[in-house]
């Protein structure tokens, strides 16, 4: 990390960048309100920091020990605890204190299903519309989403998503499962999601990051928080700072019944907020896999300080092709959103 | 499970109990407001249910499939979701809707430390005083609590605990680590704690349960919820119904840094409330091992519906012999308790 | 699964395939020595099995319950325990009883490094040469393999691999990390590897499978055996039957030091052999991360019945850019191979 | 750790011991062939090592960083890799290179069952007889072993065990589940077992260790190797050096079916042999829970260097009250023992 002096000239900054490249690393430039900081992408052991520290305009040059440097609070000039970074998508702001609600069906099934769910979710108070077109599945024999049927089917489903978003004034979000889907999906949606199963897939992360749209990045169900942040760094290393982290549960421990599909790790919320500048939301639907637990886990997530929630919603859950047992109705969604807002006010007041 | 008719006579009930014993099982009698239910301790496959169903006064006789039968909501005549079972200790009620706060130092160190902490914790709003006399430790070379030094030291430390409880009007609680400590500890305290490391220790569980005092029962950090409930059943099988479950975190998954000592599994709270009649509290101190995360995890626990919190508190955390990095001051405790109460009110209103 | 009669005519088989397609599924045809079996790719609930069973030439039509059907022993006409399926690559046979040894450096670094290591590994008894060109890494700041530097660098490194393989008469193997690398890599190597981090990446699996070359498929370090087999089924569903499974360790459990990078799950070897027709090899290098444990874990793997071993080997481990602490020298490799062969003979004799 | 000079006088050694006690620690004296070493039980931070180093007869005084000091190879004068410590029980030696076989039923059921199984296991080549009298069970409603029925039943079952051992010339071993069973069990058996569920139960460990009989100490299924060794240190801290470690599988990771009850961690074998002087055996019966996998996992354990195996054996597995699905017949046991001996010879030759 190279911290430039307050009055460093553009020429001096460029000179530092050129020097960094000489040693085989890339430079990531972060221009904060008070200072410019240059992050290094690559192996810092190759850099003679004493040499860089002596260059004109440089205030300080030092190695950063953690494997995620670009998403560090300090590097992003957000050293005080209260400060936060806000990601704007359309008229929605994520990370500004008010919890954001992402709702919609697990899988896009029909135009009518999507339009009805979108309208009712909007009325319930949701801000962003989600819907899966390419579904990652454990079994090749399960329904893989309309997108997997072919290019035309994918475009049709993505088109419905875009249409519903425009009609009900909600940014839209869908998952990208493979590199060859990135271009297509980016044409239609506002936020690109990397699902839990693809968290470790660094080439996909790079391809998605380069689209310069906000990325919703889900933790793998077998990953530590450190690993989660290391792979978020792959997105930041492409120059894309708009990463929304998402905690969605990790594999249960122990013998015998666990009663929930995964174990929701809510401490990840304050941990990530102390380690990085990134907002983090929570997905209680996949974490629990149980409609009857979504309300209490939503309240707990907001009380823990989450910047938002992603809740699978279906206008008629019983008919859903995927995850029927964990989707809530728009009416239930409304109760959850209202309660979360009250909890959020009390939590914020307590800080 | 044998459900007696509303108007079953005592003689008829006794006859069923005698029949059960004939087949090598024990009978646990639960007299509810509306009906008497007889639970079976032992292998139900040995019981000819058709024969029992035909006895006078019997309404229904059937096998219970789950391995925890005595702590089931249904068996305890608490079938509706809202109903709850309340455990009374002194003037404190656990499970009645208002969260209960248990505070005090990890280890009892000196009389002065305990009295000061107790007084300040009481002023902060805590209801129950905790303090470790026999400390379970991973290393035999670490401080094992004053109780491990000998009988006299144990009695002295337990005496301070009882004295502090009486002076500041708080029931007191301490951990029992081995069978040979049960008699002694039960003389001095109001609630006996089984620690996480001893969760699987069925003989200790039996010995503690037979003291007929409320038992605070902590989940092992490697146990599924099903295992946790199965071992709680060992306590209930001794006829002791006053079991307070405690979620205190499970081992983290994945490679690399986890940032918290354990992973707090807050979904255990609503799961346990649906499966059993037992109240469940949360211990954010051991779960996180980090003073800076205790407030947010406490709020989240209350939002998830926990019946209380156990928070390690020390009048001067820096001087603590054990767990210094995770203990809060009485002033911090007060802020947490006040915020939790506000969250609890909102959460209750949302139901 | 539809089992055709011994004397079913090609026209009858085609008719069944056409019927299957009508219901929206794909048909996978397995022509065994004694019978033809038609597997179904997709949701079997959509199929009216009674209707299919009545078609001419059909002996039996029934649902297969497991989520991996195409890799089942039974479906592949290998129902008896002793029978095995052999994958041929050049003059090497994997799965025929004799353990196969795959050796080479973690990462291809220079032509000279590769040629020297290949020559010495060949002399030590290795059959197949491995070398990483695209390295998956937890940190974006670590060395990602020569291939990540650009197309030219990737081709150069892949070229060395092909050259070394030809010169020392060894099929070669390298890892594919992203969909956009598949075409390029498939031009140069004989076996395509899917690494542990990409196990869940179903789009990559499909792209690799369609190259019709044998696939070395590594278990994710957080995956159950069932998940591992479900994702192997994604490869088989593309019609590629030559899948070599690889056990390489799973995340350790518990608090505190684990002493090895991962926990090698050797029971996966006989389990997989009972569940599927696929050969399974073991990678003790990544599993342990410790040079001093590779020999004993190699012997154990062979004693458990593994069809081969993949052992990271470097002509000069101290100089390696990646995984220096876990690579063995060619001399150590020779000792391991010789000992494994003796163990293999004794193990085979014991069956 | 205080290393005395070769020619240190007994008076000098005693003086060091007295000094250690002054600081509130206990001294453990290890008299090796070449030197006497004094280990410290307690918190070494309290010890002024410079002061001790200056005492007459002291060669070196320094802190040991690992939490298990008394079971370290170095402290026990077994610094070279090949050297081993042998535990003698009757005419059996554990740790001398030849694998030792422990066999017998999961639970002692009847005198006849035990005598038949013992006789046939002896003929098959087993050295030590096992049989459970106090069975730890997850459900209080399951059969808990004859010992749990009462003192008389316990004595009867323990008596059969002793009788069978004498008649067929095998030392006998059984599990102790609670502190109050220790005295009784120690009267009847040669080796006391601490089961997996009780690994963390430090008071039970102390009580068992003080009986001065060899202790078979099983790893908890949720414990890291470091934790396992830390709790073995509790036994050594009572002055009992004869600890036989036992690897019996850890909880599986990941979602979905694991196919085995636990994951056998065979790398624990060489790891423990490098870290401590203790012999380690393997229990493939509980690890796999599957009769059909016991042979291959036994061979693998011996190839990994295990000092022995504990294999549940029943003269008629179908009739067993506990663990019927994982017990082998005496005939199967014989095949396993014979094959293991051949593997052991090859493995030893390879070192």
A300: which chain B residues are within 8 Å (Cβ-Cβ)?
266, 300-301, 303-304
* Interface list for A 74-103 with B (CB within 8 A): none
Closest-CA residue to B149 (of D233, D231, D182, D43): D43
- Return the SS3 of B196: helix
> Average pLDDT of C248-263?
92
Closest chain A residue to D262, measured at CA:
A255
Are residues A179 and C69, on separate chains, in Cβ contact within 8 Å? no
Asked if residue D232 has pLDDT above 70, the reply is: yes
Are residues B178 and D204, on separate chains, in Cβ contact within 8 Å? yes
Are residues D221 and A253, on separate chains, in Cβ contact within 8 Å? no
Long-range CB pairs of A46-51 (<8 Å, 24+ gap) are A47/A20, A47/A23, A48/A23, A51/A19
Count other Cβ atoms within 10 Å, centred on residue C5: 14
Q: Whole-angstrom distance between the N-terminal and C-terminal Cα of chain B?
A: 32
> Average pLDDT of D23-40?
85
pLDDT for C50: 87
Query: Alpha-carbon distance C31 to C38, whole Å?
Result: 8
> Average pLDDT of A230-247?
96
- Residue A287 near residue A261 (C-beta atoms within 8 A): yes
Query: Alpha-carbon distance A337 to A92, whole Å?
Result: 16
Query: Alpha-carbon distance C38 to A261, whole Å?
Result: 34
The parts of chain B modelled with pLDDT lower than 50 are none
Are residues C254 and B222, on separate chains, in Cβ contact within 8 Å? yes
Q: What is the pLDDT of residues A167-203, one digit of tens each?
A: 999 999 999 999 999 999 999 999 999 999 999 999 9
pLDDT for A310: 98
Region label for C175, one of left (φ > 0), alpha (ψ between -120 and 50) or beta (otherwise) = beta
- Residue A127 near residue A170 (C-beta atoms within 8 A): yes
pLDDT category at D150 given cuts 50, 70, 90 is very high
Mutation target among A200, A206, A224 for the C interface, most CBs of C within 10 A = A200
Are residues D254 and A253, on separate chains, in Cβ contact within 8 Å? no
pLDDT for B81: 61
- DSSP H helical ranges for chain B: 10-22, 49-53, 111-124, 151-167, 182-188, 202-209, 225-236, 268-275, 284-288, 294-303, 330-349
CB–CB contacts below 8 A, A to C: 104
φ and ψ at B53, to 5 degrees? -60, -25
Are residues D141 and B178, on separate chains, in Cβ contact within 8 Å? no
Are residues C254 and D224, on separate chains, in Cβ contact within 8 Å? yes
Region label for A162, one of left (φ > 0), alpha (ψ between -120 and 50) or beta (otherwise) = alpha
DSSP string, A62-129: ----SS--TTBTGGGT--SSS----EEETTEEESSSSPEEEEE-SB---HHHHHHHHHHHHHHT--EE
- Hey, is the C-beta of B262 within 8 angstroms of any chain D C-beta? no
Asked if residue C325 has pLDDT above 90, the reply is: no
Are residues B200 and D203, on separate chains, in Cβ contact within 8 Å? no
Name residues whose C-beta falls within 8 Å of residue B103's C-beta, 6 or more positions apart in sequence: B117, B121, B124, B126, B128, B129, B130, B310, B311, B312, B313, B333
pLDDT for B243: 98
Are residues D227 and B138, on separate chains, in Cβ contact within 8 Å? yes
> Average pLDDT of D323-342?
94
**CA A78: distance to chain centroid?**
19
Are residues D304 and C300, on separate chains, in Cβ contact within 8 Å? yes
Question: b/e for B56-94, b at 16 or more Cβ within 10 A?
Answer: ebbeebeebebbbbbbbbebbbbeeeeebbebebeebbb
- Return the SS3 of D60: strand
Mean pLDDT for all residues in chain C: 93
Are residues C178 and A204, on separate chains, in Cβ contact within 8 Å? yes
Asked if residue D119 has pLDDT above 90, the reply is: yes
Count other Cβ atoms within 10 Å, centred on residue A258: 21
Q: How far is D215 from chain A (nearest CA, A)?
A: 26
Tokens of A301: 């997530």
Asked if residue D322 has pLDDT above 80, the reply is: no
Tokens of C168: 């020392």
ipTM of the complex: 0.92
* Interface list for C 122-181 with B (CB within 8 A): 138
Look up the CATH number of domain A87-349: 3.20.20.70
Strand-by-strand arrangement of the A58-61 sheet: A26-31, A36-41, A2-4, A58-61
> Average pLDDT of C149-157?
95
Q: Which of D251, D254, D256 sits opposite A254 (nearest CB)?
A: D251
Tokens of B59: 């309404």
Dihedral through CA B281, CA B285, CA B287, CA B292, nearest 10?
130
Q: Which of A222, A347, A350 sits opposite B253 (nearest CB)?
A: A222
φ and ψ at A270, to 5 degrees? -65, -30
Q: Whole-angstrom distance between the N-terminal and C-terminal Cα of chain C?
A: 32
Mean pLDDT for all residues in chain A: 93
B251: which chain C residues are within 8 Å (Cβ-Cβ)?
253-255
Are residues D222 and B227, on separate chains, in Cβ contact within 8 Å? no
- Hey, is the C-beta of D332 within 8 angstroms of any chain C C-beta? no
pLDDT for D81: 61
Q: What is the pLDDT of residues D287-317, one digit of tens each?
A: 999 999 999 999 999 999 999 999 999 998 8
In CATH, the architecture of A2-65 is: 2-Layer Sandwich (3.30)
Query: Alpha-carbon distance B235 to C67, whole Å?
Result: 41
Closest chain B residue to A303, measured at CA:
B300
Query: Alpha-carbon distance B130 to D10, whole Å?
Result: 47
Q: Which of B138, B253, B261 sits opposite C251 (nearest CB)?
A: B253
| % of chain A exceeding 90 in pLDDT | 74
Are residues D180 and B179, on separate chains, in Cβ contact within 8 Å? yes
Region label for D173, one of left (φ > 0), alpha (ψ between -120 and 50) or beta (otherwise) = beta
Please state which of the ranges A308-312, B125-129, C239-243, D4-8 shows the lowest mean pLDDT: D4-8
Query: Alpha-carbon distance D351 to D343, whole Å?
Result: 13
- C-alpha to C-alpha distances, B204 to B238, C92, D68, D137, D202, nearest whole angstrom: 12, 59, 26, 14, 12
Tokens of A118: 């979108």
Query: Alpha-carbon distance A221 to A253, whole Å?
Result: 12
pLDDT for A1: 85
- Hey, is the C-beta of A200 within 8 angstroms of any chain C C-beta? yes
Query: Alpha-carbon distance A259 to A252, whole Å?
Result: 9
Q: Packing angle between helix B268-275 and helix B225-236, nearest 10 degrees? A: 40
Asked if residue A80 has pLDDT above 70, the reply is: no
pLDDT category at A81 given cuts 50, 70, 90 is low
CB-count exposure of residue C216 (10 Å: 0-12, 13-18, 19+): buried
Query: Alpha-carbon distance A195 to D173, whole Å?
Result: 52
Tokens of A347: 């939590």
**Contacts of B among chains (3+ CB pairs under 8 A):** A, C, D
Region label for A24, one of left (φ > 0), alpha (ψ between -120 and 50) or beta (otherwise) = left
A255: which chain D residues are within 8 Å (Cβ-Cβ)?
138, 221, 251, 261
- Return the SS3 of B107: strand
Q: How far is A52 from chain B (nearest CA, A)?
A: 31
∠ CA A255-A228-C262, nearest 5°, is 50
Closest-CA residue to D193 (of C328, A116, D185): D185
For chain B, domain boundaries = 2-65, 87-349
pLDDT for C79: 61
**DSSP β-ladder status, C128-130 and C100-104:** parallel
> Average pLDDT of D64-74?
85
Closest chain B residue to C220, measured at CA:
B254
Q: Which of C233, C234, C251 sits opposite A222 (nearest CB)?
A: C251
Mean pLDDT for all residues in chain D: 93
This prediction's pTM? 0.93
- Residue D246 near residue D283 (C-beta atoms within 8 A): yes
The secondary element (H helix, E strand) that includes residue B246 is strand B243-247
pLDDT category at D34 given cuts 50, 70, 90 is confident
Are residues A296 and B252, on separate chains, in Cβ contact within 8 Å? no
- Hey, is the C-beta of C222 within 8 angstroms of any chain B C-beta? yes
């Amino acid at each position: 990390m190279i911290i430039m002096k307050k009055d460093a000239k553009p020429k001096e900054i460029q000179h530092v960048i050129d020097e960094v490249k000489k040693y085989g690393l890339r430079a990531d430039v972060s221009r904060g309100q008070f200072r410019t900081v240059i992050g290094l992408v690559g192996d810092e052991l190759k850099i003679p920091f004493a040499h860089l520290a002596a260059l004109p305009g440089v205030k300080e040059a030092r190695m950063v020990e953690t494997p995620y440097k670009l998403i560090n609070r300090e590097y992003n000039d957000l050293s005080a605890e209260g400060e936060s970074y806000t990601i704007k998508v359309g008229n929605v702001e994520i990370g500004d204190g008010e919890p954001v609600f992402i709702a919609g069906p697990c899988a896009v099934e029909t135009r009518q299903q999507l339009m009805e769910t979108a309208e009712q979710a909007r009325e319930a108070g949701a801000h962003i519309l989600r819907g899966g077109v390419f579904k990652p599945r454990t079994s090749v024999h399960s329904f893989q989403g309309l997108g997997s049927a072919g290019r035309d089917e994918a475009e049709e489903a993505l088109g419905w998503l875009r249409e519903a978003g425009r009609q009900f004034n909600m940014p839209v979000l869908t998952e990208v499962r493979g590199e060859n889907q990135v271009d297509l999906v980016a044409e239609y949606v506002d936020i690109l999601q990397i699902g839990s199963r693809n968290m470790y897939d660094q080439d996909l992360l790079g391809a998605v990051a380069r689209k310069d749209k906000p990325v919703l990045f889900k933790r793998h169900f077998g990953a530590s928080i450190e690993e989660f942040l290391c792979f978020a760094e792959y997105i930041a290393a492409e120059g894309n700072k708009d990463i929304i982290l998402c905690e969605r549960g990790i594999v249960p421990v122990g013998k015998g019944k666990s009663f929930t599909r995964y174990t929701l790790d809510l401490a990840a919320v304050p941990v990530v907020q102390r380690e990085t500048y990134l907002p983090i939301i929570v997905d209680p639907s996949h974490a629990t896999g149980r409609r009857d637990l979504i309300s209490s886990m939503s309240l707990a997530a907001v009380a823990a300080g989450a910047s938002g929630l992603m809740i699978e919603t279906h206008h008629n859950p019983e008919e859903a092709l995927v995850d029927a047992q964990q989707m809530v109705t728009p009416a239930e969604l409304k109760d959850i959103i209202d309660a979360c807002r009250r909890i959020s006010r009390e939590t914020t007041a307590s800080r």
